[in-house]
Structure 1
Amino acid sequence: MPFCRAAAAAFLGLLLTASPMWSQDAPLTVVLKPGQTAADVQQVLDLAARTGRPLTVQVETATTTTGAAAHPATSASDTTSGTATATSADTMQMTPEMEAANMGMASWERFSDASSQVFTTAIAGLQALSTMVGMTTTHLDAEGIANGRIAMVALLSLLAGGAAALSVRLLFAQLLRHSHLRARHIAGKFRRFFKRLVGDLLSIAIFLGVARWVLLTMLADTTAAFQVCQAAIAFTLILLVYMAVGRFLFRPDESGETLFAISNPQWHFHMLTAYGVITALFGETMRLWNWLGLGRASLDGWFLIGGTLLTLLKLTWFWGGRAGIRAAFKGSSPGPVRRVIGNLLPDFYVVSAIFIWFFGSVIIGSPDSARWSFAAGSTQVILLLLPVFALGAHHVVDEFARHWETTHGAGLWSSVLASLRVVCSGAVWIGGLHLITALWWPLMTSGGDIATGWILWLERLSFAVVASWAVYTLVWKYAETIAPPQTVMLPGQEDEQADKKQTSRLTTALPVIRNLVLGAVLAVGSLIVLSSLGINVAPLLAGFGVLGLALSFGSQALVKDVVSGIFFIVDDAFRIGEYIDTGKLQGTVEQITVRSVRLRHHNGPIHTIPFGQISSVTNFSRDWGTIKFQLRFERDSDAEIIRRAAKKVGLGMLEDPEFGPQFLIPLKMQGIQDITETAMIVRFKFTCLPGNPGILKREAMTRLLAACKAAGVQLASNAVTVRSNGANSVDIEAAAAGTPPPLTSIAV
């Protein structure tokens, strides 16, 4: 991966440039010959000073050669003035390319010397191991305690402690299984695993107490046999602690679930157990080493071997389980920040493991190597635990938030709990950075403040980011709680959602207010972050003020849209979900921004209209609405029958549980609107709440037609009656008899 290649390149550069840390630095000699100018001399001395090595400057004259030792920071300027006057002949000059080549060769020599020193230290540690075994045997022989008795005491202590721990563990499991007590502040899956962890730690504490009591009753604490048996107990204790942590993180419970949804949890459990074995073995060996009073060089060598084995194990762990680590950290629905961190986390672990091993190898043999090694190892452990604790805190608070929202409903406290997830997980990261700073700061001298300065800077930056993110989450979640986002309905869903409620004024204005508040939070948070980086924000504020003034003069149309939108929102001219007409365009309001309003036409198209282009608004969805429609009946229909049928239908719809609550005035016949050649036009009307007038109208027409048909009233047809006056015998006889001629219907 590109990140790994870049990290490897940076690590190689660190190897070649970390000259002050090597214990064997050969001095660099620069010979200045007559004929060199002051500029050339200064350039050569600057290049040599950048190596950080002890510098010796020799000035060669026509008769004698003088040498003077100088330090990189002081001798360069002192020697330059004396050399500028000692020029008499043209000689061969050293070019910058030659100096760079010399520095490269010197860096390679330092790297070779350091590698040889590391190898020699490791060999010394292996050789001293046999010495430690021999000295331990000598002490045991001097005490007159047989090896068999020592093994029996150690085995008896382990068995007694193990039996007591197993009994306590089984008893604790039974109590948890039959107990009805619930941890009120720890819920769900985390609660189950936390109970199991408490049981494991309690059994380990019982193991330690019983095993040490048996050991103290059988051996004196000043003997070498006691130290050997104590090392065996401590080794088992450390291993059990690592296994308890591994069970808490990676072992499934009775339901088959693990605390973290990570692929191949057995792999990670075995890797953590192996880590505990190596740590316990080398830790107890070095403790016994100190008790025997062996040399510091051999102890450093043994520590180097243990650190190398741990580094190889960590590289195998992080690289072999990189896919599971990424998936576990990202989760099911990660955000962009969490996705980026999850993808880089395994590579970061690999690079940090290599760097810590290299750093521990460099300081081997120094007076404070033990403290430096402890700080390096503790830093690796903190880096391993930080993501676990951060994710655990996030999941626990998230479970509280979801439980509260399910029990009490969404509101202010559910929003506070949602923002508390960010605060808790961020506090874990900031606390880890603070621990790392506390570990390294006492070891740094005045020249090492730069090395820990970036950690302090990162701590301040993280605090600013976490605080801004928490406020952002609180505002966003609370805005969604008060005014949930409106979903766009597909065709046909309007009919299904007959109980659609009218939106409030706050629901309409809150998205705009939310965006403004979030913009302000982001702006203030960005200024805080920049201030934590050491950047002066006063010129930035002045520059943004001038930029805003220029935009206000140059973009007057934008200013007009924003100001008009503010007054439209203040006047409550329309709300989300209302059907409005702006004069040229009409539709349902779907979204309101600072500058424009988005309308959805009933045929589907979306209209985005800037507020500055809206001169007037007609709102069809405010307070109430009267729906009028008309039907065509036969000319000879009885209007009274139609009125009674309409009244009956109106009363029936009022009693309907689905449609009744939406009526303000029931359906009734308004009267005869018109009489044409073929029909009598009757108008009907009703008044209802806004939202679904079309559904009520369609239902009213359906019931009204059925009621009129049942009452014998028919709708008008398009048939035209024509009277024929033809001269035939039938017509004449009919006319004589005084009867009208037969009617002939002609369909038009």
Structure 2
Amino acid sequence: MKTVSRPFARIIKIIGIVTLMALGLSTPLAAQNPMVPSTGDTSEAVALPDTLTPEAIHEMVARMSDDQVRGLLLDRLDAVAAAQTKAENGKGLLTTLQETWVAFYSPTVDAVSKLPVLFSKHGEALSNFRASFGNQGLLKLFAFMGIAIAAGIAAEMVTNLLTRRWQGAETAAEDANLWTALSFLTRRFGRDILGLVAFYFALRTVGLALLNPAQLAFAAPFVTYLIWFPRLGAALSRFVLAPHRSDLRLVNVDDHWAGFLHRNLIGLVLLGGFTLFLVGFDARNGVTIFETRVSFWLNTAVHIYVALVFWTARQGLSDMMLGTDPDRSRFDEWVAWAYPFFAVGVAAVTWIIVQILAGHQQFKLLLTAPHYTTMFWLLLAPAIDTAIRGLVRHLLPPMIGEGPVAEAAYKATKRSYIKIGRVVAGLFVILRVADAWQFDLRNLAAAGVGERFATNFVEFTMTIATGYVIYELVSLYVNRKLAKEQTSVTAVEGDLGGGEGGGAGGSRLTTVLPLALVSAQTGIIVIFGLLAVGSLGIDITPLLAGAGILGLAIGFGAQKLVTDVVSGVFFLIDDAFRVGEYVEVSGTMGTVEKISIRSMQLRHHRGLVHTIPYGEIPKLTNFSRDWVIMKLMFTVPFDTDPNKVKKIFKKIGAEMMQEPLFKDDFLEPFKSQGVFQFDDVGIVMRGKFMAKPGTQFTIRKEIYNRVRKEFDANGIEFARREVRVALPGGEEVENLNEADKTAIAAAAGAAVQQQVEAKQAEADAAKKAK
């Protein structure tokens, strides 16, 4: 070990005495335990005296070597740091709340206590400012500032003259629409910004040439906060509110509230800029913010001003949030009503946060004005929401098809785009506000799951927002495809054959997409729900294991349910049926009205609804697939010429193929199939046609009407069933009494009943044979 010189060793001992006195008097007795020096030339332990008096410490240090003193100092400093860390980490909730409460009210109490010296201290700052320049220096300062400002104004005027043609002619009120208004306002705003940029560069160039650094320290904040920022705010407000041109206004607000908000927005920017300028001015002239607390009063004035503006203009702001879109929901109306109250609450909460940060001496953060940035984005929220709805309304593709289905799909699509836009805009505003408060959410979210509550909360919020956007995008795509498929199917007008069913079904996508949408939405909710729970620091492995065990138990306990689901999947893969098709399942007939993952619902043409699980379908007959052939029977008397009937059928078929109402529904025209059979009444003639499913009953009804008219025109009668009764002495029919007539009628009725029963038996036998 190197030998330490005697003067240096004496200095070390003196420092050791002073440090040990400070540590010994400021640390608890529990920290005064025997310690072994971290370095030294002996192994003897060094213990502190029970009573740490200056004499005892001086005597102890005199006996110790230099390395022992150094080691003892290091150990004592480590012990003090550990004790302080333990004390900070050991704070309870009550202690934290108490410290927060003290931090909240202490700036107010301090500001009130500094009221007597508020004006005198500002007078002192002004005196220091005057003394630093002198009377002649002040005259030069203001004269040079005036020259620089005049140069900036001149540059702005020249720029406006050169760019006048960019703005174009004034748009007439009757010709104004969104695009013309937006184009005009954008060009005008661009001219304003370009003029302000020219003003700034000219003023800066002249200012740097005329003013020295001390003068620039006053002039630069003065021009920035009290001239440039208010004019920038006025340009932005003119673009959004157009206070003097209601026909060009981008937001839904009347002239009164547009003018009110325009004036007060400029006033808010001016008051906020004056606050920042005055705080900096006092600091540069020897008066700190702790001496006057003027920042407290000015900041409070800004927040009260914001709250008053929102409260006074609550009707106009509600109208602005509501917009002009007629397709608004009850949620939109509630948000529009609650927005002004929410804004007042945010102004109050922001003021409270500022007070707490000031109580914790976080003045460096507050000097960047994060609370003003927060309220700026809050003021801009109605304009952002209006812009989202306007863009969606004008950029959304036109409605596909016509009718209530297409209209409902169009509205749902628009609502989805608006929701997605609001989520994206909300995340952007949150990031901007967090950045103003120097709170990097992106790095915080990447810090790792479970490290801090804030990290977990940010990850949770981002996960939920991402899942919601994906949910809306999937719903948007599927609903749009579904609307396109549904509206592309031509509906059959009129009475579908007296409600006999057999209509044409939708497309395959119309049947599959609703199930796909439900499955996709459920999957997104489950996946992002688990991810969100995991981002809170909760281990989701037991949840996944429990879900697997539960699924296994359900699979064993509900095998029939699994059978139904699997059978339904294969039925859909085979394209066995579609929504709207007329099918028969084991003697049950009806139109497929609704399908789920387990069963299908059939609507009988008499109104009955049958629910059939997929697993119970042994065979399914579809009456509505691709095409349908209908055969019609007509019975004519025996003396009718069959060739004449054939010509009539051919004529009707040709005429109907020329009718605009029917020609697109025929796949093959109506034509005769000749004599089908003879019965005891007459000749049975048969005709047939092929048509699209769902149109056959309307066509059949029209064919019946036309055949009747043509038969009447050509003297052809339909054969009628007759019962002839042979009576002995039939030549004396006129002389029959009532009893004889009754007997004859009974005999005829019995004969007719026998024939009807025979026909029914034949039909039943044919059906069983089929």
- Structure 1: any 5+ residue segments left out of the alignment? 1-70, 79-99, 179-185, 732-745
Q: Which residue of 2 aligns with 1:61?
A: none
Q: Which residue of 2 aligns with 1:278?
A: 271
SS in structure 2 opposite 1:546?
A: helix
- TM-score normalised by the chain length of structure 1: 0.69
Select which of 601, 618, 622 maps to 2:625.
622
Asked if 1:173 is matched to 2:178, the reply is: no
Q: Which residue of 2 aligns with 1:536?
A: 539
Residues 284-311 of structure 1 show CA distances to partners (whole Å, capped at 9, x for unaligned) of 333443443433435x622222211111
CA contact (8 A) 1:393 1:421 kept: no
Q: Which residue of 2 aligns with 1:197?
A: 189
Question: What code does the residue aligned with 1:237 have?
Answer: W
CA contact (8 A) 2:103 2:357 kept: no
Residues 540-597 of structure 1 show CA distances to partners (whole Å, capped at 9, x for unaligned) of 1111111222222333443232223223222322111211122354322122210121
How large is the Cα RMSD of the aligned pairs?
A: 5.2
Question: What code does the residue aligned with 1:201 have?
Answer: I
Asked if 1:235 is matched to 2:209, the reply is: no
CA contact (8 A) 1:262 1:328 kept: yes
- Structure 2: any 5+ residue segments left out of the alignment? 1-79, 88-92, 173-177, 736-747, 753-770
SS in structure 2 opposite 1:350?
A: helix
Asked if 1:653 is matched to 2:637, the reply is: no
Q: Which residue of 1 aligns with 2:430?
A: 433
Mapping 1:97-246, distance limit 5 Å? 114-121=107-114, 124-136=117-129, 139=133, 141-143=135-137, 145=139, 153=147, 156=150, 160=154, 163-164=157-158, 166-167=160-161, 170-174=164-168, 193-212=185-204, 219-222=210-213, 227=218, 231=222, 234-246=225-237
Alpha-carbon distance change, 124 to 694 in structure 1, aligned in 2, over 3 angstroms:
farther
Q: Give the Cα–Cα distance (whole angstroms) in 1 for the partners of residues 532 and 703 of structure 2.
A: 63
Question: What code does the residue aligned with 1:314 have?
Answer: V
- TM-score normalised by the chain length of structure 2: 0.67
Q: Give the Cα–Cα distance (whole angstroms) in 1 for the partners of residues 297 and 223 of structure 2.
A: 20
Q: Give the Cα–Cα distance (whole angstroms) in 2 for the partners of residues 205 and 406 of structure 1.
A: 47
CA contact (8 A) 2:636 2:719 kept: yes
Q: Give the Cα–Cα distance (whole angstroms) in 2 for the partners of residues 355 and 197 of structure 1.
A: 33
Q: Give the Cα–Cα distance (whole angstroms) in 2 for the partners of residues 252 and 634 of structure 1.
A: 88
Question: What code does the residue aligned with 1:430 have?
Answer: L
Select which of 349, 372, 384 maps to 1:355.
349
Asked if 1:377 is matched to 2:371, the reply is: yes
Q: Which residue of 2 aligns with 1:459?
A: 458
Q: Give the Cα–Cα distance (whole angstroms) in 1 for the partners of residues 687 and 697 of structure 2.
A: 14
CA contact (8 A) 2:681 2:719 kept: yes
Q: Which residue of 2 aligns with 1:82?
A: none
For structure 1, which segment, 537-546 or 301-310, has the greater mean C-alpha deviation from structure 2 after superposition? 301-310
Alpha-carbon distance change, 660 to 442 in structure 1, aligned in 2, over 3 angstroms:
closer
Alpha-carbon distance change, 590 to 455 in structure 1, aligned in 2, over 3 angstroms:
same
Q: Which residue of 2 aligns with 1:713?
A: 716
Tell me by how many angstroms 1:610 deviates: 2.8
Asked if 1:481 is matched to 2:480, the reply is: yes
For structure 1, which segment, 247-256 or 385-394, has the greater mean C-alpha deviation from structure 2 after superposition? 385-394
Alpha-carbon distance change, 721 to 423 in structure 1, aligned in 2, over 3 angstroms:
closer
Alpha-carbon distance change, 146 to 440 in structure 1, aligned in 2, over 3 angstroms:
closer
Select which of 682, 686, 692 maps to 2:685.
682
Tell me by how many angstroms 1:242 deviates: 0.9
For structure 1, which segment, 576-585 or 454-463, has the greater mean C-alpha deviation from structure 2 after superposition? 454-463
Q: Give the Cα–Cα distance (whole angstroms) in 1 for the partners of residues 104 and 359 of structure 2.
A: 16
CA contact (8 A) 1:356 1:376 kept: no
Question: What code does the residue aligned with 1:316 have?
Answer: L
Q: Give the Cα–Cα distance (whole angstroms) in 1 for the partners of residues 142 and 102 of structure 2.
A: 52
Residues 447-486 of structure 1 show CA distances to partners (whole Å, capped at 9, x for unaligned) of xx99x95554343223212322232233222222333375
Asked if 1:260 is matched to 2:251, the reply is: yes
Q: Which residue of 2 aligns with 1:315?
A: 307
SS in structure 1 opposite 2:251?
A: coil
Question: What code does the residue aligned with 1:692 have?
Answer: T
Question: What code does the residue aligned with 1:243 have?
Answer: A
Q: Give the Cα–Cα distance (whole angstroms) in 1 for the partners of residues 260 and 730 of structure 2.
A: 108
SS in structure 2 opposite 1:310?
A: helix
Q: Which residue of 2 aligns with 1:402?
A: 396
Q: Give the Cα–Cα distance (whole angstroms) in 1 for the partners of residues 259 and 322 of structure 2.
A: 20
Q: Give the Cα–Cα distance (whole angstroms) in 2 for the partners of residues 601 and 213 of structure 1.
A: 86
Asked if 1:555 is matched to 2:548, the reply is: no
Mapping 1:56-135, distance limit 5 Å? 114-121=107-114, 124-135=117-128
CA contact (8 A) 2:240 2:383 kept: no
Q: Give the Cα–Cα distance (whole angstroms) in 1 for the partners of residues 94 and 195 of structure 2.
A: 63
CA contact (8 A) 1:633 1:682 kept: yes
Select which of 611, 614, 621 maps to 2:614.
611
Alpha-carbon distance change, 172 to 145 in structure 1, aligned in 2, over 3 angstroms:
same
Q: Give the Cα–Cα distance (whole angstroms) in 1 for the partners of residues 657 and 707 of structure 2.
A: 14
SS in structure 2 opposite 1:697?
A: helix
Alpha-carbon distance change, 254 to 343 in structure 1, aligned in 2, over 3 angstroms:
closer
SS in structure 1 opposite 2:577?
A: coil
Asked if 1:582 is matched to 2:575, the reply is: no
State the identity %. Answer: 23
For structure 1, which segment, 132-141 or 637-646, has the greater mean C-alpha deviation from structure 2 after superposition? 132-141
CA contact (8 A) 1:382 1:432 kept: no
For structure 1, which segment, 363-372 or 301-310, has the greater mean C-alpha deviation from structure 2 after superposition? 363-372
Tell me by how many angstroms 1:370 deviates: 3.5
CA contact (8 A) 1:386 1:432 kept: no
Q: Which residue of 1 aligns with 2:69?
A: none
Select which of 227, 241, 247 maps to 2:238.
247
Asked if 1:468 is matched to 2:471, the reply is: no
